[in-house]
Amino acid sequence: MTAMSARRPEPADGGELGIAEQVAVYQREFPTVDPQVETIVSTLSRVSRRMNVAYGRQLAALGITSAEWEVLKALVIAGSPYRLGPGELAKRLGLTPAAMTHRIDRMVTEGLVTRERDENNRVRVIIELTEDGRDKWLELMRMAAVFEADILQDITGEDRTAFAGMLSRMLRRIEESQPDALGRTEDLD
């Protein structure tokens, strides 16, 4: 056994290290790291990954992809009658027009959206949420609400308000310092 392998913590179950063990490794390798910051950031990262897995399972149960979910969500956010042009959808999702076209093609085939020419401007195309697309969005929202209530059950009342505020401030700092964090780059505007 080498000196390096003797110092390497191994998770008992063969999976990830616990957060405390992970932070201890960071401190060993980078002694000036702030353990509180690393604990918070590592925990948030792990929560995000696990939530994405859970949401992915819910999407799979409904037969839609996370990419399709993003389009459905953008159309719902646009409000009734749940219509946007493909260029506006691409911009909102941080996609190239070609990627958006490919995504819309699949969703039209699956009956989640329609693609029609604008009656007032025959050059313009309109993407509209179908009833089936809205039903899938609503069902996923129902499933997500149950999951989210479960994971937040230990945080109640004023703590939820404080926690939401803290996370909002963190997000604002990231968005201010990393304006392209959605994946958009200047050449896509």
Residue ranges per domain, the chain?
17-62, 64-177
- As a dihedral over the C-alpha atoms of residue 109, residue 110, residue 115, residue 116, rounded to 10 degrees, the angle is 80
pLDDT at 178: 86
Q: For each successive 10 residues of the chain (189 residues), what is the average pLDDT?
A: 52 80 96 96 96 95 94 96 94 91 95 91 90 96 96 95 96 88 49
pLDDT at 180: 74
Look up the CATH architecture of domain 64-177.
Orthogonal Bundle (1.10)
List of E strands, 19-174: 83-84, 113-118, 121-129
Sign for the CA dihedral angle at 99, 103, 108, 113 comes to: negative
- How far apart, in whole angstroms, are the C-alpha atoms of residue 102 and residue 107? 9
This prediction has a pTM of: 0.78
Structure-token match 């401190």, residue found = 27
Q: Enter the tokens of residue 14.
A: 């063969």
